[in-house]
Amino acid sequence: MWSFHTGLQSYGYFITWQNIFRLFLTFRPISIPFSTLLYNFSLTLHPQLINFCTMTAEFTTTILQWFTTNRRELPWRETRDPYAIWLSEIILQQTRIQQGIAYWERFMHRWPTATDLAAATEDEVLREWQGLGYYSRARNLHKAAQQIVELGHFPSTIDSIRQLKGVGDYTAAAIASIAFDLPTAVVDGNVYRVLSRYYGIDIPINTTEGKKTFTALAQELLPPTQASAFNQAMMDFGAIQCTPQSPLCDACPLIETCDAYHTKRIHQLPVKLHKLRIRERHFSYYFIRCNEHNTTLTAIRRRPSGDIWAIE
């Protein structure tokens, strides 16, 4: 089995796939597909590089075939309503799917459209959100609903979706591809893990270079006419098959060509730099209670926005 990770001894120097990624991300014309440029380059450098182009197509086909029989049945996958899909993506930020389903169903029942959600009060939205944590998501959700109503329709381009409050690159790509079939690849923890293991890429995923590399590779793998299916397949494959701690390698359809499996680096990939900075802070709390007319009262103050544990 030919290994991507070991690279080639060609023209007297050592070539690895991640160095090839670096080269083409830096110099390729944006209008030329990565695989086309790499294929032409491979003919002059080494015939074995053609394997990369072939494996790229095989990877995409295999992931889509796996998805047809292993996809998770989720309620928001039964609709193409961008509002419902957007709502699911916001709820699932920092939330497990099983917990998120119940909240999504409650929100959809109470506020089935962006107009309904925008008309609610902030306190109503926060109360419905109670238990999910990270309350800034609920506030952003409410503000984004008001943006949608002001716009007159749900935004339908990647740039306009990204303008919604609380929507980043991943969420925008997910909504754009799933709701509107726009050919934009999603890149989240699942995608980083699957691609880094399969191709043996050890560029840290939380660096600028890593984000550019994996985004470009995911976009190259994306079939333009099946963006929705492929993005959801990558999410499910990482969540079910190629899991962080106990991946199901023996039953994996990519086992024959997975670099991490054959180089015994499953648990070393993906690589992430540890940049956590610990800062010590001290807080003073006042618990105020009083009795008035045989009733015990407790003083409550909502935390301001922009600070630790803030509800806003």
Residues with active-site annotation: 89
> Do residues 183 and 148 touch, judged by C-beta distance below 8 A?
no
Q: Rounded to whole angstroms, what are the CA distances from 33 to 27, 28, 97, 219?
A: 12, 9, 35, 10
Question: How many beta carbons lie within 10 A of that of residue 250, not counting itself?
Answer: 7
> Do residues 255 and 89 touch, judged by C-beta distance below 8 A?
no
Helix (H) or strand (E) run with residue 296 in it: strand 295-298
Give the separation between CA 119 and CA 252, rounded to whole angstroms: 48
> What sign for the dihedral angle of Cα 221, 227, 229, 235?
positive
Q: For residue 96, what are the contacts with CB-CB under 8 A and spacing of at least 6?
A: none
Give the separation between CA 213 and CA 215, rounded to whole angstroms: 6
Question: How many beta carbons lie within 10 A of that of residue 51, not counting itself?
Answer: 15
Q: For residue 311, what are the contacts with CB-CB under 8 A and spacing of at least 6?
A: 126, 135, 302, 303
> Do residues 98 and 137 touch, judged by C-beta distance below 8 A?
no
Q: Rounded to whole angstroms, what are the CA distances from 113 to 90, 117, 118?
A: 15, 6, 9
> Do residues 35 and 76 touch, judged by C-beta distance below 8 A?
no
What phi and psi values does residue 88 have, to the nearest 5 degrees?
A: -65, -40
Beta bridge mates, 292: 295
CA geometry: angle at 25 spanning 21 and 29, to 5°?
130
